[in-house]
Amino acid sequence: MYDAPGVGLAAPQVGMPLQLAVVEDKPEYTRDAPAGFTKERERKPIPFHVVVNPQITLLDEPNIEFFEGCLSLAGYTALVPRARRVRVECLDHNATPITIEASGWYARILQHEIDHLYGTVYIDRMYSRTFMTVENFNRYWKDRSIADVRKTVGWNQDLTERS
């Protein structure tokens, strides 16, 4: 996770058949981000923590879209709709039951990592027309808002058809 760098890693990604994921979003990961990047994504630093046997409840519809990547699919990205808010009931690193209420980017990370525990990766949820290499994303899209991406490519509300 740190080598990539990534913000989460699920045990199945490294061949471990466990319902366990680790999450951390370090402040330095967004230090050089374009203006508005962290605000639009509701992204704040998240300290390192472990979630074991998580049960997730979406508290909103999955209608917030941002580009996601994955350490299991290195070099690619796509727009993925996720719920803005979630509740996760799990055990922590000491096997103590905890409940996490998360929103914004933190909620996205939890949904992404917990998906891995059930054999789902972001390409199973992505808008397929937005799938691209990270190189193309960095060249053409990284400094644009999601609204600008939608406007530029002329997609309707659900991104399943072109306008």
Phi then psi for residue 24, to 5 deg, are -165, 130
Reported as type and span, the H/E element at residue 108 is helix 104-117
At 142, list the tokens. 């990284």
Is 135 catalytic? The answer is: no
Name which of 153, 111, 146 is nearest 36 in CA terms.
146
Side chain identity, residue 120: T
Catalytic residue among 24, 65, 68, 113: 113
Q: What are phi and psi of 21, to 5 degrees?
A: -140, 155
Beta strand residue intervals within the chain, DSSP E: 8-10, 20-25, 46-58, 62-68, 76-83, 85-91, 97-103, 132-133
**Catalytically annotated residues:** 113
